[in-house]
Amino acid sequence: MSTALGAAGELAIRSLIERAPLASSLAAAFKAQGFTLALVGGPVRDAILGRLGNDLDFTTNAPPQESKKILSTWAEHIWETGIEFGTVAGKRGDTTVEVTTYRSETYDPRSRKPEVQYGKDINGDLSRRDFTVNAMALELTSEKPEFLDPFNGLIDLSKKLLRTPSSAEQSFSDDPLRMMRAARFASQLDFEIAPDVLVAMKSMTDRISIISAERVRDEFVKILMSQNPRTGITLLVETGLAAIVLPEIPKLQLEIDEHHHHKDVYEHSLTVLEQAIALEHRLDGPNLVSRLAALLHDIGKPKTRALIDGGGVSFHHHEVVGARLAVTRLKALHFDNHTIEAVETLIALHLRFHGYGDGEWSDSAVRRYVRDAGELLTHLHVLTRADCTTRNAKKAQRLAATYNSLENRIAVLMEQEELSKIRPDLDGAQIMQILDIKPSAAVGRALDFLMEIRLERGPIGEEAATKELLAWWKTNS
């Protein structure tokens, strides 16, 4: 072991002992049964970087069923959802571990599922890892912990470079999702991608289509939730991967001619995403819904783009079209319904603020804004403010001041009228009693009528609401 490797190994071991003391007892449990155990992959990389977490990955020569038996005696909880792929997981205290039998996995060109073959030694296992910085290991069951780095991952880690242990073409054939993972690590770790790896990504984009929507979604989310999602998204677009997994984003690179000038919608969307991230303190930290809405808020523009006589471009109703496109894409990626509905609402509402000029907001308009945003009101504040990307300082200041005024108006009405709980002055039971009717569609229409009054005029009280209801009923019964 070289001096550099020895120092790195010592750092990783020290970090492991300090941050994950249970790993030693797990290694002892495997050793007692005659098996090896090594910390591997991202945790080793993170241990060297001094950022080891509580999720640890191990590799072993123990067959999956043997790993399950050992984990059953060591962990407080175990689960075997990945056992057919050689992985058994467990949790003890705050530490979650995944133990995988030495393996190599490859994809048949026509199949979404990997073909798993178990290996006999750790070097073979490491050779089939995604990147060299993830192909380092700490052997914990030898006489003393040993740092293994057969593919010079430590050097690449110092260079902040992503290379593959085998050829990039072989690595991406084994698992095409690694192409998206390269973009993810570039975003998360601020790494560069080696030229040969980048070439392979561009030439093998079609392979990503065999990967399940769930796996693609999970990698995309990790990119989006990283500290610098622009890097990963740009790589997805430039390599052509986005054209397959998220085609609405590269389509934002609208053709610009010399007679009809407009903003670069693609760059604008990335800027809005970054500005939304800068405002996430209002949402108590990183927020997936906010980031999705920011990135996708203008995806309706390509379909609504129209050239205006004499110069200029319009995108009428792009928020409506964009909301619909977002639903279709997020469903295709198997996002949950709550996330899809929230993103749809935000995109559909993101232009509402700009429809009121320089702040001529009536109380009715404010109530409707709050009612339509619902529990997403703060998300909408973030998106609307982030959507201001003008380089005109005076215009930016004016927009910010106008939105400050709107938020202040909302705060005042919130205090006066409990806007977060907007409802008619009469409920369904009262309506049926006053009109002497049974449960029916008419009750719903009456509630809608009273809600319109509530939005237009604010709370008017039960007596006035009853008079309005009776007058309406005379002409609508």
pLDDT tens track for 365-410: 888 888 889 899 999 999 999 998 776 778 778 888 888 888 888 8
Q: What pLDDT is attached to residue 455?
A: 79
Residue 182 has pLDDT above 70, yes or no: yes
Confidence of residue 304 (pLDDT cuts 50, 70, 90): confident
- Does one domain contain both 392 and 455? no
pLDDT, averaged across the chain: 86
How far is residue 347's CA from residue 298's CA, in Å, rounded to a whole number?
A: 8
- The residue from 246, 281, 313 where one domain ends is 246
Rounded-to-integer distance, Cα 302 and Cα 265, Å? 9
- What pLDDT is stored for residue 109 in this prediction? 61
Contact 450, 426 (CB under 8 A): yes
What angle (nearest 5°) sits at the alpha carbon of residue 403, between those of residues 400 and 407? 135
Question: Domain boundary residue among 421, 447, 466?
Answer: 421
Same domain, 223 and 360: no
Specify the CATH number for the domain of residue 322: 1.10.3210
Q: What is the pLDDT of residue 137?
A: 92
The reply to whether 176 and 272 lie within a common domain is no
Bridge partners for 138 per DSSP: 39, 147
- Residues belonging to the chain: 477
Number of structural domains found in the chain: 4
Q: In CATH, what number is assigned to the domain containing residue 73? A: 3.30.460.10
Note whether 275 and 417 are same-domain residues.
Answer: yes
pLDDT for the residue numbered 413: 79
In 57-205, where does DSSP find H-type helix?
64-74, 122-127, 153-159, 168-174, 177-189, 195-203
Residues 229 and 112 both lie in one domain: no
Q: Are residues 399 and 342 in the same domain?
A: yes
Task: Specify whether 461 is located in the same domain as 381.
Answer: no
- Tokens 């995944």 correspond to 98
Q: Residue 14's pLDDT is what?
A: 73
On whether the CB atoms of residues 229 and 223 are closer than 8 A, the answer is: yes
Q: What is the DSSP string of 15-84?
A: HHHHH-THHHHHHHHHHHTT--EEEESHHHHHHHTT---SEEEEEESS-HHHHHHHHHHH-SEEE-TTGG
Pair 262, 214 in one domain: no
Instruction: Evaluate whether 251 touches 213 at the Cβ level (below 8 Å).
Output: no
Q: Which domain holds residue 372?
A: 252-421
Q: Does residue 70 sit in the same domain as residue 89? A: yes
Q: 159, 178, 208: which is the final residue of a domain?
A: 159
In terms of domains, do 14 and 133 share one?
Answer: yes
Mean pLDDT of 206-213: 94
